[in-house]
Structure 1
Amino acid sequence: MSLLLQPLVAAGQNGVEMVCADSLICRVYPILAAYVANFPEQCLCPKCLVTADERGNPLTSLMWDPEVTKEILEKRKNGQHPIQFNDNGLCAVYNPFWANLPHADIFLAFTPDLLRQIHKGVFKDHLVKWCLEIVGEDEMDTRFKAMPDYPGLQHFKKCISTMRQWTGTEHKEMQCVFIGLLTGAVPSQVLVLQMHTAKSLNGLESALAVFHTNKDILQELEVCKHFNIPKLHQISHFIKSITLFGSTDSFNTELPEQLHIDFTKDTYRASNKCDYKEQMALWLQCQEAVFLCSSYLDWLSERSQDDLGSDSDAEIEELQSESCSTAPTNTSPTLPIVYVLAKTPAHPQQSVQHLITTHGATMFLPALKSFLHKHMPRNNTVPGPHDQF
């Protein structure tokens, strides 16, 4: 992190000239304002001075002071033993990456993480578990199955109590119907949680206060032993973060999590599952090469229309042939080329429209029909636009 953010030290102190949206050149002072990180990384640098046994109470705890923290670390580095070092749970990291960043408050910079703290945290790990204990697994499963279908909303027609792995999208889909599921199945104090709304910060603050007022019912029903939950405590800082940085939609780690699917899961499925790391790296390199070549050919096509005229098709074909013949390859000339066919397709059940828009296979259906007619004349199956391949 220190290496990545090193350019911000001089830029934040002296400024850098940048071209703004109005085409004017201005001196800008970029600083570290928001730090979007997963929950485990956020736990390494807590925001406030709440003690470990008070995170279940609606406290207005003091925020950490970066300057005071650096002073404590400096004293510890010089051989002193300040009492705040142990009381605040500090570690012997004497030069944290944010120490030299100008105008940066790392403790205010941490933003809420909806995926880890809310969807998979408070909702899945705690709220769903508590309500399952109150309602019962069979009744909860029955209520999920009985929910009517709605366009754009996932219908959980199978049991949810036996599921062990949920995605962030499924958590949000469950939240859309969860209040309706609890109606008539839980005490009235439990369902008061529905007062939470994202329309205003006052609504968020009042909903959190209502929760802490009525949360003891969960202990009385013996479904929860305590509320000393770090993720639950993080909600008390949401209003401050929203005031500083805007809507929490911008801080959700769900979008970059999608890159994990593109660069890891799909890449692994494309391998033969044996020595897959090298195959994954080569597959990504090939995908990038294909993308760059396609972009170059598209640029040549646009250039032919704008500059070369309609009578230069031969010149375009010559340029395309030259570009493809001189394109760098990742295959070592000293190694034989081995072609491996995966046991399962990397992208199964693709629609015809997807093949046309993504791969440019505009003549896929006519070509397939011609192939089947030629090689399987007795075949009665005719592929159509609604089939998947």
Structure 2
Amino acid sequence: MLEDHLIHECLLIVLKPLMKAAEVRIMMSDLVGNVCHCFTPLTAYIVDTPEVAMLACVRGRTSPFTMALYLQFGDNFWHPDCTCTITLGQLARIKVNPDYLETYFEACADLRLNGMYALFWMDWLLANPSIFLKPELLHHWHKEFYDHNLQWCIVVVGAQELDFWFLILQPTTGYRHFSGRISKLKQVTGRGHRDIQCYIVGLISSAAPRCFVIMIHALMDLHYLVQRPAPGNNLLVCIDQSLSTFHEHKNVILTLGTWMGAKRPIENWHIPKLKLLQSVTSSMWKVGALIQWSADTTEHAHISEIKEPTWQMNNNDY
């Protein structure tokens, strides 16, 4: 809780000028030198799943975009938005002194809040978590594919068989050739996730049950459709159709026991990223193409600005 409070407090300090400009406007110049009055609403905040929950003031296994709890993550319909009015109203109903951290955290449990009370966006005009927090391509599509879709395929086809099929693929310029064991990959980047996606449907089509292939195919269609740079009405309809196809055939995952825990199959849909699929079209209606809000650039900065300089040091007296 203290770490989360620190983050919100730092954001409040750094973003204070933008909050003021959103309220009273500010003179700004564009790329060609034209000066005009501008407002700065909070349009997008690009983060991964745990940080989304932290910024939205909800605790784990709770949707940061809607009012859905973890028991409802498998629903095939959109739950009501979790708006700023709802969140701030819930905080106002808690009468416990927030300085008593443990007691305050327990008081937030029934409302599924994470114990934050001084949110950086609470005084930002028109700021709404259900708008500026949105599905993000790197973590919510590519990482979701690797953590769930690919693991389901490995269980259905068999790790050794799928590894062999990737091994004998013809190397293609511009795409990674997986000469090792794909089932044991570590530190896979977003580029690796995308390269695996190019082959997965074709490789499992002759070995997996038909319903399972349809389900994976629908998810892959959805993943590619949401990356279109110019969304329109027809595209949004196709996304909804792909999502509907997935929900029609998703029970094959539980039937085949393909979602494995540490020791046995998991028989529920408590997957936060699965619920994020329902927010795709609504987010595209609000903020346009989702591909413009990818964390690829900021995640790459971990390598160029932190890891590479660290590799040049001897790790003494740094």
2:33 maps to 1:10? no
For residues 78 and 88 of structure 2, the distance between their equivalents in structure 1, rounded to whole angstroms, comes to 23
2:91 maps to 1:73? yes
Q: Does the aligned pair in 2 maintain the 1:12–1:102 contact within 8 Å?
A: yes
String of CA shifts for 1:216-270, please: whole Å, max 9, x gaps.
1111112232222001111111111122222222222121111111111111110
Aligned to 1:19: 29
1:131 CA displacement? 0.9
Going from structure 1 to structure 2, the CA distance change for 1:23 and 1:274 (only over 3 Å counts) comes to closer
Aligned to 1:58: 76
Aligned to 1:118: 141
For residues 87 and 172 of structure 1, the distance between their equivalents in structure 2, rounded to whole angstroms, comes to 40
Report which of the two structures shows the higher radius of gyration computed on alpha carbons: 1
Q: Secondary structure of 1:99's partner?
A: coil
For residues 163 and 86 of structure 1, the distance between their equivalents in structure 2, rounded to whole angstroms, comes to 38
Larger mean Cα displacement after TM superposition, 244-253 or 29-38: 244-253
Percent of paired sites with the same residue: 26
Q: Secondary structure of 2:37's partner?
A: strand
For residues 43 and 207 of structure 2, the distance between their equivalents in structure 1, rounded to whole angstroms, comes to 45
Q: Does the aligned pair in 1 maintain the 2:41–2:127 contact within 8 Å?
A: yes
Q: Secondary structure of 1:17's partner?
A: strand
For residues 127 and 45 of structure 2, the distance between their equivalents in structure 1, rounded to whole angstroms, comes to 11
Task: Count the aligned residue pairs.
Answer: 273
For residues 295 and 83 of structure 2, the distance between their equivalents in structure 1, rounded to whole angstroms, comes to 26
For residues 206 and 88 of structure 1, the distance between their equivalents in structure 2, rounded to whole angstroms, comes to 33
Going from structure 1 to structure 2, the CA distance change for 1:158 and 1:106 (only over 3 Å counts) comes to same
Aligned to 1:43: 53
Aligned to 2:177: 155
Going from structure 1 to structure 2, the CA distance change for 1:254 and 1:19 (only over 3 Å counts) comes to closer
Aligned to 1:177: 199
1:12 CA displacement? 1.1
Q: Does the aligned pair in 1 maintain the 2:167–2:180 contact within 8 Å?
A: yes
For residues 116 and 4 of structure 1, the distance between their equivalents in structure 2, rounded to whole angstroms, comes to 25
2:249 maps to 1:227? no
- Of the candidates 187, 190, 202, which is equivalent to residue 165 of structure 1? 187
Give the TM-score, by structure 2 length: 0.80
1:85 CA displacement? 5.4
Aligned to 1:215: 250
Amino acid at match of 2:273: K
2:154 maps to 1:137? no
Going from structure 1 to structure 2, the CA distance change for 1:166 and 1:28 (only over 3 Å counts) comes to same
Q: Secondary structure of 1:186's partner?
A: coil
Q: Secondary structure of 1:161's partner?
A: helix
Unaligned runs of 5+ in 2: 1-10, 57-63, 98-103, 229-234, 260-266
Q: Looking at both structures, which has the greater relative contact order when contacts are Cα pairs under 8 Å and sequence separation is at least 6?
A: 2
For residues 141 and 19 of structure 1, the distance between their equivalents in structure 2, rounded to whole angstroms, comes to 54
Give the TM-score, by structure 1 length: 0.66
